[in-house]
Structure formats: C-alpha cells, structure tokens
C-alpha cells in the first residue's frame, strides 16, 4: 500500500472525527457559525453594493461627456490648444467604428469663445460634435430639457446648458453670436440659433458647455477636416483595457496621437473610489476580526475541555501534529459551514436587491443633486460575492492556530488526569 | 533478549512539605514473552511504573530499555512512535474516544499505523467478538457499560498485536466470567505471539493467571516470584 493511500484513509477518519466533534456542542457550533453567517451575509451585500455604486458612479461620470477612452494629440489633455489637432478626424473616427463595431465612437473639436446674446456676454467652451454619433458616448443629448438636440451635421445651431441660458437670458429660438480664434489664429466668429437647452445636473457643465455641429465648427474655426478628440464608449467598462492596444494600431499612422483611458481622462475618479474603499475596508476589517475572535474563543474552549481525551490519544502514540490537524479540520468545517450558508444567503439577499434596487434612507435628495438614480444596484459577480467571506474564512483558520499550539504543550499523563 | 529492563527508577512527587515516593529505586527485568502481574495496595506505584515504561511520564533518575533501546533518552516524537508501533496500553480509566463507536475506537490506532481498510475491519470485528462484545460494534462509549467500555479499551490495546502490552487494572469492572474470558485471551496471545504482558491488578484471581507476580509497596518492589500457572 502506498503512503499516499494511507494518508488518504487516515484523513477520511480525521474528517469523520472532526465532523462529529464539532457537533458535540451543537449550540456553541451554531452560535459561532451564525456569527460567521451573519457577517458573511453583511459582507456579501455591502461589498456588492459598494462595487455596484462604484460602477454607477463611473458610468454616470464617464457617460456624461468624456466617454471611456479618447484619442487625441499628445499633450492636448493638459493644454487644450487649438493647434493640437487630430487630422482627418471624420475618417479616423469611421475607421475606428469599422474596427470596433460594438463601440460608440464620436469625433469632436473644441474651442474657447466669447458668446453673446442681445443683452450679455460670457466666456465659454464650445464643442463641435457629430449629431449622429454624440448620443452614443454622452448623455447630454438625452438631457435636452427644452427644444431639441442638434440634427444636421453643419447647420448654424447650438445647444447650451440651463445655467448659461439663464445667464445669457435666452430661450430656444434666440440667436447667439460668438467670437474666438481659429486654428490658424485668425478671428473666428459666427451667429447660431439656440435649438435646445440641456440640464445635465452638473452646474459646471450647464454653465460652461455649448455644443455645435462638427461640420459647422470646422468651417468657422478653420479646422479643415480636423478635430481635437475622438471619444469612445463600450457597453462594459471592463472592455477598455483590451481595446487600448488594437486602437493604437488603428491610429498608428498619424503622428503624435495617443489613446487615453478613463483613468487618465478623469484622474480624480479612481482616487475617490480608492479613498472610499479604504474606509469601507477598515469597517469590514473590524467585523472580520470580531468574528475571528469568536472562533478563537470557541476553538480554545473546545480544545481545553478535551484535554483528557487528547491526552489519551497522545498516550496511544498519536503525535500532536495529527491532533493539531484535527482541530484545524474542525475549524475548517465550521468555517466552511459559515462560508457556504453565508454566501448562499448573501447571494439571495444581494440578488433580490440587484433586481429591485436598494435605496439608502434619504438618498433621493443626494441622488437628484448628482443626477444619479435614487436606487443603487448591487453588482452580482463571483468576485464581489466571494471576497468578504473568503477573507473571513482565512481569518477563522488563522484564529485556530493559537488553540492548536496548546496541543503541542500537552503532556499525556497530566492531560489524562485532567477532568 | 529482555523485553524491558528497568534500572534504579526513581520518581518523586513534592506534596507541600512531604515527598511522595511514586517509584523508589525500582529495578526490574522482563523477558520477552513474559506474563507478569503487578500487584500492591492503592498508591503503591503500579500506574506510575507502567507510565514510566511506556514513556508517558518522565523520571527523576534511572534507565529504561525496551528491546535494547534506551527509552528514557528518546524525544517526544520517538516515544510516540514507540507507543504507536510496539506498545498496547490499557489505561486505568478506560479512556475511549467518545465520538467514535466501539469498532472505530479499536480501528483508530491501526489506521494511524497504516493498516489497510479490509484488514482493519476484519481484525476489529474479530477482537471485539473475542472480548465478548459481538453486536455492540456500532455503539458509542456512552451506550456501553463500564465493563464493556473496559473491554473495548483492551481490544484497542491488543488488536494490532504489539510486542508489549501494559494493562492497568484491565479487569476492575468485570464479572468473573468476563474476567476469565479476557485472561484466557491474554494467555493465548501471550503463548501464540510471544506478546509480553505486564498487568497491574490487585485482584487475586488475576494474579493467579500470571507466570510471575511482582508486589509493590510505597514505590518499591517488595516481592518478585515466579509461579505455576494455568
Ligand atoms: N501527579 C501526581 N502528583 C502527586 N502525587 C502523585 C501524582 N501521581 C501519583 N502520585 C502519587 O504517587 C503514588 C503512586 O501512585 P500510582 O498512581 O502509581 O498508584 P497505584 O499503585 O496505581 O494505585 P491504584 O491501585 O490506586 O491505582 C501515590 O501515592 C500517588 O498519590
Ligand atoms: Mg493505578
């Protein structure tokens, strides 16, 4: 008989022994398991909700304007100079569209101008957009509250934000004039009709962004066929890392173009999420340590009350290592019980709320302010379901180390005399 | 060769101001295949001696050899191996594993020794039948009487046919008939497999079965005689 098979058999008996042992104190085992189950359910739900809210935060932020990936001239993100142009932007955009049929792709150009109504003038950013493609990467076209969004690719029309409309004292149908400088530093000026007013929920955007058709923009600002950025949006954020490389290949020929992902485009977003995660993990950490201590207590008691029995087993010639393994196995079984039931219940609870949505008390107000849905949807994926319970599991096994060490100090004769 | 040689064993317990002599200069030589009864009043040091020979307890002085090997010099782990492979223990308080059935208690040591499943089962059933526990294999210790538990403990000690059996009051809870049966079994194992038996007991009936009777008092050997048996 091979050593391996012997070990296998001995393990089977250890397993049976461990299983029966944990049920010697039914109530205590269930109480410990319940602590694990409770914290696991809580962790599964909280972590899924947390990831869900990050996803929502990212989607809302990126979906408003920036998109998930942009192609632009190197340095444009920092300086935004008129001269940092993507040549042949329409053609490049349609090449990208062909290469990534699943993505929404929109070319843009942008300039800073002085915009004037009959009564007032303000400095603002105007963006040339492709009316047919812009709705795929930005939610602003869908947030037009009065009038309509742009339709024709080169009409002299403009869509402005709610705050800007108020500041300029204009309504849909009024005319605006703007004055800026073109790509060649010549004076660029035009007269456009306000066809729509959007309400993005962001005061900043509503005050300082206006959109024109890209063709018209290119004419006025002497861009020829150039633009400044191409914005891309995919169904899933997780698609982004995989497209960077092939996207670079598509734009390869043009000099000095770069591909920027959302972390580069909106650097504050990831940091905000990380800061939130840190504070959340601190809370979870406290919960997990409490559970680990309850396991430590249970296993310590269970080892101490079996001193006599362990003494006998050692007197028969069984080494402490095997007993330590037994106690670890008992902890493993108990932790597995807490893990399985916890993940199961946690998944049910999380699954329910991922369907109907979950609202924090008082969240409606906040949500309205930030243009977010009042309901949060937990993200149900294996990672968010398993993460918390796995850490609890590992910590519980660690908590059993101290009780098992007690076994190594046991002396059979004294142990057998113990009550 | 001698199975066990004890030379000048001393074990003292400090009890307040008094010193209790568990073992007081005990020297003893046991032949392989001997069948010995260790008797003496309560507190005379029988258990202490058995524990010392089995490497369960440390000594204050003296030397113990088993099969020519100095066991008082062995480390914990080597002592554990010695007990597992060469010694069968029956403890005074029979000390079964409460969550295992009678059969599993008997199997347990063989399993750690690496005996195959089929052989293990067969030997366990046989030995339980021989100690008169047929049909009780699946009962847990709390479902057995004191005498029955004691016989399970005996079965556990002898099932893997160790070279040496150290039995501490193995018959204390048994009626005459069960006692006779158990002693017959011991005798058989002793004759057929040359297993050395060292049995602590103050039961005159048990003493009568032994080929050699050793008497103890206050931690000393006061009598050691060969006698006619069976
Ligand atoms: N751990 C201990 N601490 C103090 N004294 C002890 C200890 N163990 C044994 N003794 C003492 O050593 C002496 C011998 O004890 P031992 O258990 O060997 O007696 P015994 O012959 O087996 O008695 P019995 O027939 O009652 O089982 C006794 O006086 C006992 O009180
Ligand atoms: Mg005794």
Chain B partners of A315 at a C-beta cutoff of 8 Å? 54, 56, 83, 89, 91, 95
Query: If you measure CA to CA, which chain A residue comes closest to B156?
Result: A316
Q: Is the pLDDT of residue A371 over 80?
A: no
Q: Where are the domains of chain A?
A: 14-62+269-417, 67-265
| Chain A with chain B: Cβ pairs closer than 8 A | 67
Dist. CA B156–CA B150, nearest whole Å = 10
Instruction: Please list the ranges in chain B whose pLDDT falls under 70.
Output: 94, 229-230
Question: Cα distance from A310 to chain B (closest Cα, Å)?
Answer: 9
pLDDT in tens, A322-337: 889 999 999 999 999 9
Q: Is the pLDDT of residue A6 over 60?
A: no
User: Predicted confidence band at A417 (pLDDT cuts at 50, 70, 90)?
Assistant: confident
pLDDT (0 to 100) of residue A8: 64
User: Predicted confidence band at A1 (pLDDT cuts at 50, 70, 90)?
Assistant: very low
What residue numbers bound the domain in which B6 lies? 2-226
Do B98 and A314 lie within an 8 Å CB cutoff? no
Domain of B162, CATH number, reads 3.40.50.300
**pLDDT cut 70: percent of chain A above it:** 94
To test the pocket of ligand 1, the residue of B11, B24, B48 to mutate (highest count of ligand atoms within 8 Å of its CB) is B48
Q: Is the pLDDT of residue A240 over 80?
A: yes
B219 CA to centre of ligand 1 in angstroms: 9
pLDDT (0 to 100) of residue B172: 83
Q: Are A212 and A92 in contact (CB under 8 A)?
A: no
pLDDT (0 to 100) of residue A254: 64
pLDDT (0 to 100) of residue A46: 92
Q: Is the pLDDT of residue A364 over 80?
A: no
The mean of the pLDDT values for chain A is: 89
Pairing of strands B164-168, B87-90: parallel
Choose between A365 and A96: higher pLDDT.
A96
Counting atoms of ligand 1 from 1, which one is nearest the CA of B14?
4
Q: Is the pLDDT of residue A412 over 90?
A: no
ipTM rounded to 2 decimals: 0.87
Q: Are A97 and A209 in contact (CB under 8 A)?
A: no
* Single pTM value for the model: 0.78
The structure tokens listed for A60 are: 């809302």
Residue A109 three-state SS: strand
Counting atoms of ligand 1 from 1, which one is nearest the CA of B45?
18
B133-138 contact pairs (CB < 8 A, 24+): B133/B102, B136/B102, B137/B101, B137/B102, B137/B103, B138/B101, B138/B102, B138/B103
pLDDT in tens, A258-308: 999 999 998 888 888 888 889 899 999 999 999 999 999 999 999 998 998
Return the bridge partners of A72, or none.
Answer: A229, A258
pLDDT in tens, A46-77: 999 988 888 888 888 888 888 999 999 999 99
Domain total in chain B: 1
Counting atoms of ligand 1 from 1, which one is nearest the CA of B216?
21
Question: Cα distance from A403 to chain B (closest Cα, Å)?
Answer: 20
To test the pocket of ligand 1, the residue of B11, B15, B45, B170 to mutate (highest count of ligand atoms within 8 Å of its CB) is B45
């Amino acid at each position: 008989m091979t050593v391996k098979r012997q070990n296998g058999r001995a393990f089977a008996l250890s397993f049976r022994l461990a299983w029966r042992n944990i049920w010697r104190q039914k109530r205590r085992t269930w109480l410990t398991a319940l602590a694990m189950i409770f914290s696991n359910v809580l962790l599964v739900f909280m972590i899924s909700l947390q990831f869900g809210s990050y996803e929502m935060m990212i989607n809302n932020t990126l979906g408003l304007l920036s998109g998930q990936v942009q192609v632009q001239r190197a340095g444009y993100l920092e300086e935004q100079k008129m001269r940092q142009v993507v040549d042949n932007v329409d053609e490049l955009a349609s090449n990208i569209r062909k290469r990534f049929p699943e993505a929404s792709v929109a070319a843009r150009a942008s300039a800073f101008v002085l915009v004037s109504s009959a009564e007032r003038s303000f400095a603002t950013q105007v963006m040339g957009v492709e009316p047919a493609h812009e709705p795929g990467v930005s939610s602003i076209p869908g947030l037009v509250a009065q009038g309509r969004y742009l339709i024709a690719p080169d009409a002299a029309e403009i869509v402005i934000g709610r705050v800007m409309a108020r500041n300029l004292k204009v309504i849909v149908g009024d005319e605006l004039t703007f004055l800026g400088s073109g790509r060649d530093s010549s004076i660029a000026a035009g007269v456009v009709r306000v066809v729509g007013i959007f309400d993005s929920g962001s005061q900043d955007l509503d005050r300082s962004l206006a959109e024109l058709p890209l063709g018209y923009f290119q004419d006025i600002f002497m861009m020829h066929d150039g633009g400044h950025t191409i914005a891309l949006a995919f169904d899933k954020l997780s698609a982004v890392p995989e497209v960077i490389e092939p996207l670079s290949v598509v734009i390869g020929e043009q000099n000095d173009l770069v591909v920027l992902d959302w972390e580069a485009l909106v650097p504050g977003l990831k940091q905000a999420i990380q800061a939130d995660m840190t504070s959340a993990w601190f809370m979870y950490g406290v919960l997990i340590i409490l559970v680990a201590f309850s396991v430590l207590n249970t296993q310590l008691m269970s080892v101490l009350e079996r001193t006599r029995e362990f003494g006998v087993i050692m007197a028969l010639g069984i080494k402490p290592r095997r007993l330590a393994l037994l106690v670890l196995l008992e902890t493993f079984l108990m932790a597995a019980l807490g893990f399985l039931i916890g993940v199961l219940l946690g998944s049910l609870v999380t699954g329910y709320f991922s369907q109907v949505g979950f609202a924090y008390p008082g969240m409606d107000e906040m949500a309205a302010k930030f243009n977010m849905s009042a309901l949060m949807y937990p993200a149900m994926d294996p990672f968010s379901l398993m993460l918390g319970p796995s850490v609890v599991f590992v910590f519980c096994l660690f908590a059993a180390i101290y009780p098992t060490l007690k076994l190594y100090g046991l002396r059979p004769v004294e142990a057998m005399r113990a009550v | 060769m001698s199975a066990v040689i004890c030379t000048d064993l001393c074990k003292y317990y400090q009890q307040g101001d008094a010193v209790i002599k568990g073992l007081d200069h005990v020297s003893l030589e046991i032949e392989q295949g001997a069948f010995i009864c260790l008797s003496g009043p309560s507190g005379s040091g029988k258990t202490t001696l058995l524990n010392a020979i089995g490497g369960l307890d440390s000594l204050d002085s003296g030397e113990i050899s088993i099969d020519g090997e100095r066991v008082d010099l062995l480390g914990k782990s080597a002592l554990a191996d010695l007990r597992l492979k060469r010694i069968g223990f029956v403890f005074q308080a029979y000390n079964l594993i409460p969550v295992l059935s009678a059969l599993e208690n008997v199997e347990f040591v063989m399993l750690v020794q690496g005996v195959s499943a089929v052989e293990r089962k067969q030997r366990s059933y046989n030995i339980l039948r021989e100690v008169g526990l047929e049909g009780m294999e699946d009962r847990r210790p709390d479902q057995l009487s004191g005498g029955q538990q004691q016989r399970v403990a005996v079965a556990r000690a002898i099932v893997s046919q160790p070279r040496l059996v150290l039995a501490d009051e193995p018959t204390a809870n048994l009626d005459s008939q069960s006692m006779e049966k158990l002693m017959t079994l011991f005798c058989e194992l002793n004759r057929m497999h040359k297993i050395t038996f060292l049995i602590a007991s103050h039961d005159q009936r048990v003493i009568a079965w032994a080929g050699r009777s050793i008497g103890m008092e206050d931690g000393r050997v006061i009598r050691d005689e060969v006698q006619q048996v069976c």
